[in-house]
Chain A
Amino acid sequence: MSQLHVHPDGSEDHGHPEHLGHHWNDSVQQFEAGKLGMWLFLATEVLLFGGLFCAYAVWRANHPEIFKYGSQFLSTTWGAINTGVLLTSSLTMAMAVTYAARGRMTAVVVCLLLTLMGAAGFMAIKYVEYSHKFHEGFYPGMSFYEEPHASELWLPLEETAAVVKAATLAGEEAGSVALAAEMKTRAELPTEPAEAQGWNKPAAGIGPAGLTTDQQNIDMAEMSVFLPPSVLGNLEDLDAELAYAEHHAADEPVVLPHPLQDPDRPVNAQKFFTIYFLMTGLHGIHVIGGAVVITWLLILTLRRRFGAKYYTPIDLGGLYWHIVDVIWIFLFPLFYLI
C-alpha cells in the first residue's frame, strides 16, 4: 500500500516524515490513534464471535448431553497441538513487534516468517481434522445423518486400540475370543439409514423434528392431551436423553460406536457439529485473513518501509493476531475439553 505524500501547502514545514499523514501533528499522535482504531476493530471481532458464543452457551445450557456426546468425537491431541502452534505463533509475532521497536529488521523478518509458518501449521492441522470428520460422515446440519462414505463396518482407531488393549489384558487367547465376539456384535448392529429406524430424520413437510421443553407454562402431562403420536414418541426420548447424560457422566471406556449406529445418541446430536464447524470455521477464516495481513507486513518490511521510528502496522497486525489466538484459546476448551 502506498504512503501518503505530504502537501507542502503554504505555511507547513517540509520536514514531515514520509509515514506521517498530513492531518497529524506528530508521529506519536498518529501512532496512538492507530492503536485506538485497532482496539475498536478488535472489539467488533469479539462481538462478531460473541453471537456464536452466546448460541453455544444457550444450547449447552439447554442440552448438555449433546455437547458431552459430540465432544467425544474430536481429537483432543490435535486440538492441543493446534493450541500450542497458535500460542507459539503469537509469541513470534510479539517478538517481531519488539524487534521492530529496536530497529532489528532482519529479526523482524524471521519472526514474521515463523508466525506465518505457525498459521500454516494451524490450517494444515485443521485440514487434517476436518477431512477426518468428513470422511467419517460428521457434517454439520442434517447431512450428519447421511451414510458415511466408508460403508464397511466402522471401527475408529481409538476403539480398536481399546479393544485390543482389553484383549491383551484378558490374555491372548481369551482376548482374541473377546475381540471376535466384539466384532461380531458390531456386525449385528443395524446399518440401515436412520429414517427406517424411526429416528430423528423428518421428511420435509412433516412436522418439527424435536420438542423443546423450555416453554412458558406448558405442563408436560397436560400437553400430552394435545400431542399427535409423532411428538409423543419423542417425549419418551426425553427421559432416555436425561438418563443417557447421567449415565455417561462417569468415566466410560473409549469404545465409541458411530452415531448412526448408536441407539443411545441424544436427540439432535448434529447440533454439536453445527456449532463446531461454524465457530472453528469462522475462526479459520480469520486465521487465513491474519496470515494475509502478516504476509503483507512481511513484504513491506522487506521493502524497508519500517524501522524503529515507524512500525505501527506491525504493532497493529500483532494485536489482530493476538485476538485470533485468544479466540482459539476459548474455543479449544469449550469444544475439546469439556
Chain B
Amino acid sequence: MTVEGDDSMTTTESRPLDAPALEVDNYLTYTRGIRSWILTLDHKRIGVMYLISVLACFLLGGIFALLVRTQLVVPDGLIMSQDEYNQAFTIHGGVMVFLVIIPGIPAALGNFILPIMLGAKDVAFPRLNLFSYWLWVLGAIFLVSAIFGGLDTGWTFYTPYSIDQNSAMGGVIPAVTGAFLLGFASIFTGMNFIVTIHRLRPDGMTWFRMPLFLWSLYATAVIQVLATPVLGITLALLAVERAFGIGIFNPALGGDPVLYQHFFWFYSHPAVYIMVLPAMGVVSELIAVHSHRHIFGYAYIAWSSVAIAIFSFLVWGHHMFTSGQSPLMSVIFSFITFSVAIPSGIKVFNWLATMYKGAISWNTSMFYGMGFIVLFIIGGLTGLYLGVISVDVHLHDTYFIVAHFHYTMMGSSLIGFIGGLHHWWPKITGKMFNENAGRIAFMLFFVGYNMTFFTQFMLGSHGMPRRYATYPADAGFQTYHIISTIGSYIMAIGFFTMAGYFIASLFVGRKAAANPWGGRSLEWQCTSPPPHDNFSEQPAVGDCYDFSVLRWDDETNGYVWREDVAHPGHESEHTASS
C-alpha cells in the first residue's frame, strides 16, 4: 500500500484516504527499502542513522583506547613503537571527540526525541537535517582515513608540530578537512534545533514548560552555532599553513604558534559543554522520571544551562596557563573558570533534591543517572585543582588532566548518552531490553571505569606526563598503569555486554508499552515506536514533570493516564513548576 520515496527526496503514500489506519504503522515500517532511509526526511530515521554511526565510531575509538592502555602496562611499552603509540592516542582522541561525544546526544538522541517532545511533526529544516547527516558521514570518512595517513599530532593538532614538514604526517590535511566538515554538520544541527524550539513549540508549551532536556539541547545548540565556526577557521588556517606556508602559526615564517592554541581552545572549551550539557539534560529526565518526582528547582536548572553556555566562551585560557600566556590573562581566566563551576553544582544539588521523597525505580536508566551524578561530582571537583593556577602548573599535561577530562567526558557525557539510550530505547525500537543484564553491565562499567581513571589522578599528581608511550621504570608509575589497564578491560566487557542485550532485545525483547517508565513529556504519549508523523492527534501539553496523573498498568506493562484525572486542555491546570 505504501510506496518507496521517489527521486525527489520525498516520501509519498498512495493509500486511499478512506482506508483504515494500518495496524502497525510506525516510522520503521512506514516505507521500506534502502533509498527510503538514505534519502529520508524523517527526523527519527536520521536519528537512528546517527545512532548507529556514532556507536560504530565508539567501537573504533574504544579499540584504540584498549591499545593505548595495553601499551602502558610495562615501562618500555608492551605492544607498540613510539610512532604507533602516538598515532593510536591521536586516533582515539580524534574519533571519540569529533565522532562520538560531540555529535552523540544531540544528533543521535536529540534528532529523534526533540520534535516528539515538542509535539511537532519534524524539525524546522528536515532537508538540512539530512544534509547534515551525510556531511557528517563525509567528515567521518576523511577523519578516519587519517588513520592510514600516519596522523600523530594528538587530536589537538598543536602547531608547529602539525605543520612541521619533516614529521611523518600525511594525515593532517585529511583529518582537519574531516573535522571541518563535521563542524558544519554540528552547526547545521544546532541551527535546526534552535529554530525548532523557537518556532515549533505547541500552544500551551511556553519556554518554562519545556522539558529540561530541550533546554539543554537549546543551550548546546547556541554553543554549536557560535563556537564551531571558530574551529572551522582554525583548521582551515592550519591546512593552508601546512599546504602553502602562509606564515600564520609557523614561527620560522613569522607566525605565532600560541595563536593557534587561542583559536583552538576558543572553540574547544565551549565544545566540552556541547558534550556535557545534553547529558545533563538527559539526567534531568532520568532522575525525574525514574524517581516519579517532579524535578526540583526547574527554573534554576534551566537557567543554569544558559549560564553555562554563556560562561563557557570566556574561559578558554585555562588550557594555556603554561603556554607562555601573560600572567594577567591567566589570572582573569582562572577567575572566570571558577564561575562556571557554580551552575554545574546547582544542577547536582537539584537532582539530589529531586530524589527526596521520590518513588525510585532501580532501573538501568536510573543507575546511569545516579552514576552520572557520582562521576560528574568527581570530574567537577577535580576541575577545582585545575582552576587554581599554581596547582594547575603542576598538574597540566599530566595524567591528572587525562583523568579529569575522562571523568567529565566519559563519566558524564558518555554516561548521559548511555543512560538516555536505555531510557528511550523502548521508544525508539519498540522493544524492552533485559533489566538484569543492564544492571550487571552497569556495575561492570562503573567498577572498571573507576579502576581505569581514578588511578590516573595519582599518576598525574606524581608527575606522569601525558602522551607518553614509555615511562621510567623506577618512577613508581607502573602499578597504577596496571590497575588502570585491568579496569579498561572490565569496562570493555561491560560495553560488550550492553551491546549484547541491546541487540538481543531487537529480536526477542518484550514489546514496549507507549510509556514503560512513567514519563510525562510528550514522547511518552505516542506509541513505541512512534508513527511516521509522530502524533495522530495533537497531544496534551501540561506540566511535564507532574507524574501524579499516571498509574502503573500491569496489562500493558507501562504507565497510563489515570481515569479519574482529566487531560489538560479540558480544565484549567495548576502547574507546580517554579
Chain A residues packing against B (C-beta within 8 Å): 1-5, 7-11, 21-23, 29, 32-33, 36-37, 40-41, 43-45, 47-52, 55, 58, 140-143, 200, 202, 204, 208-210, 212, 216, 268, 270-271, 274-275, 277-278, 282
CB < 8 Å neighbour of B41 from A4, A32, A50, A282: A4
By a CB distance below 8 angstroms, the chain B residues around A49 are 233
From A143, which residue of chain B is reached at the shortest CB distance? B245
Which B166-195 residues have a C-beta within 8 angstroms of A? 187, 190-192, 194-195
State how many angstroms separate the Cβ of B118 from the closest Cβ of chain A: 10
Whether the Cβ atoms of B230 and A51 lie closer than 8 Å is: yes
Contacts of B200 in A (CB 8 A): 23, 29, 33
Residues in A with CB closer than 8 Å to B232 are 48
Q: Which residues in A have their C-beta under 8 angstroms from that of B537?
A: 11
Is B252's CB under 8 angstroms from A204's CB? Answer: yes
Interface pair A47/B199, CB less than 8 Å apart: no
A32, B124: Cα distance in complex, Å: 11
Q: Does B247 contact A43, Cβ atoms closer than 8 Å? A: no
Do A23 and B121 have beta carbons less than 8 Å apart?
yes
Q: Determine if A278 and B234 form an interchain contact, defined as CB atoms under 8 angstroms apart.
A: no
Q: Tell whether, in the assembled complex, residue A202 and residue B252 are in contact, meaning their CB atoms are under 8 Å apart.
A: yes
Question: Is there an interface contact between A47 and B247, defined as CB atoms closer than 8 Å?
Answer: no
With A2-B10, A55-B259 as given contacts, are A41 and B191 in contact (CB-CB < 8 Å)?
yes
Q: Which residues of B contact A274 (CB under 8 A)?
A: 246-248, 254-255
Q: Is the CB of A209 within 8 A of B229?
A: no
B372 to chain A, nearest CB (A): 30
Which A residues lie within 8 Å of B508 (CB)? none
B230 contact set on A, CB distance < 8 A: 47-48, 50-51
Pairwise interchain contact B233-A52, C-beta atoms closer than 8 A: yes
Residue of A nearest to B258 (CB): A212
* Contact across chains for B533 and A9 when beta carbons are under 8 A apart: yes
8 Å CB interface, B134-186 against A: none
Contact A7 B229 (CB under 8 A): no
Contacts of B259 in A (CB 8 A): 55, 58
> A36 to B192, alpha carbons, bound, how many Å?
10
Q: Is the CB of B245 within 8 A of A44?
A: no
B63 CB–A CB distance under 8 Å? no
B229 and A47 contact, CB distance less than 8 A: yes
Q: Which residues of B contact A32 (CB under 8 A)?
A: 199
Question: Do A33 and B121 have beta carbons less than 8 Å apart?
Answer: no
Chain A residues positioned under 8 Å from B324 (CB to CB): 216
On B, residues with C-beta under 8 Å from A are 8-13, 17, 21, 41, 115, 120-128, 187, 190-192, 194-195, 198-200, 225-230, 232-234, 236-237, 240, 244-248, 251-256, 259, 263, 266, 324, 326-327, 532-533, 536-537
Is the pair A142, B233 in contact by a Cβ cutoff of 8 Å? no
Question: 13 additional contacts, CB 8 Å, given A4-B126, A47-B226?
Answer: A1-B127, A7-B533, A11-B536, A23-B200, A29-B199, A33-B195, A37-B125, A40-B194, A44-B187, A44-B225, A51-B263, A52-B233, A274-B254
Query: Given the complex of chains A and B, what is the CA–CA distance between A55 and B238 in angstroms?
Result: 14
Complex CA gap A140/B533 in Å reads 54
Let me know if B226 and A209 touch, CB within 8 A: no
Q: What's the Cα separation between A156 and B56 when bound, in Å?
A: 61
CB-defined contacts of B225 to chain A, threshold 8 Å: 40, 43-44
The answer to whether B121 touches A22 (Cβ under 8 A) is yes
Give the contacting residue for B251; candidates A11, A50, A209; CB below 8 A.
A209
- CB within 8 A of A216: which of B12, B226, B237, B326? B326
Asked whether, in the complex, the Cβ of A5 is within 8 Å of the Cβ of B12, the reply is: yes
Q: What's the least CB distance linking A268 to chain B, in Å?
A: 4
Q: Is the CB of B13 within 8 A of A9?
A: yes
Q: What's the least CB distance linking A150 to chain B, in Å?
A: 22
Residues of B within 8 Å of A209, CB to CB, are: 251-254
Partner of B228, one of A8, A44, A52, A271: A44
Partner of A36, one of B12, B122, B198, B266: B198
A residues in contact with B536, CB < 8 Å: 10-11
Query: Looking across the interface, which residue of chain A has its beta carbon closest to that of B262?
Result: A54
Distance to closest chain A CB from B263 (angstroms): 6
Query: In the complex, what distance in Å separates the CA atom of A275 from the CA atom of B187?
Result: 26
Contact yes or no, A37 B124, CB < 8 A? yes
A10 to B19, CA, bound (A): 9
Residue of B nearest to A51 (CB): B233
The answer to whether B17 touches A21, judged by C-beta atoms less than 8 angstroms apart, is no
B223 CB to nearest A CB, Å: 11
Chain B residues, CB < 8 A from A8: 17
In the complex where A33-B124, A37-B124, A43-B226 touch, is A141 in contact with B246 (Cβ < 8 A)? yes
Q: Lowest 6 A-B CB distances belong to which pairs?
A: A2-B8, A23-B121, A23-B122, A47-B229, A268-B254, A141-B247
- Chain A residues contacting B236 (CB-CB under 8 Å) are 282
Considering the chains assembled together, what is the distance between the CA atoms of A101 and B27 in angstroms?
Answer: 38
Partner of B252 from A51, A52, A208 at Cβ < 8 Å: A208
Q: Across the interface, which residues of B come within 8 angstroms of A47, CB to CB?
A: 226-227, 229-230, 233
A268 to B247, CA, bound (A): 10
**Cβ contact of A140, chosen from B10, B121, B122, B247, cutoff 8 A:** B247
**CB < 8 Å: which of A22, A48, A50, A140 contacts B244?**
A140
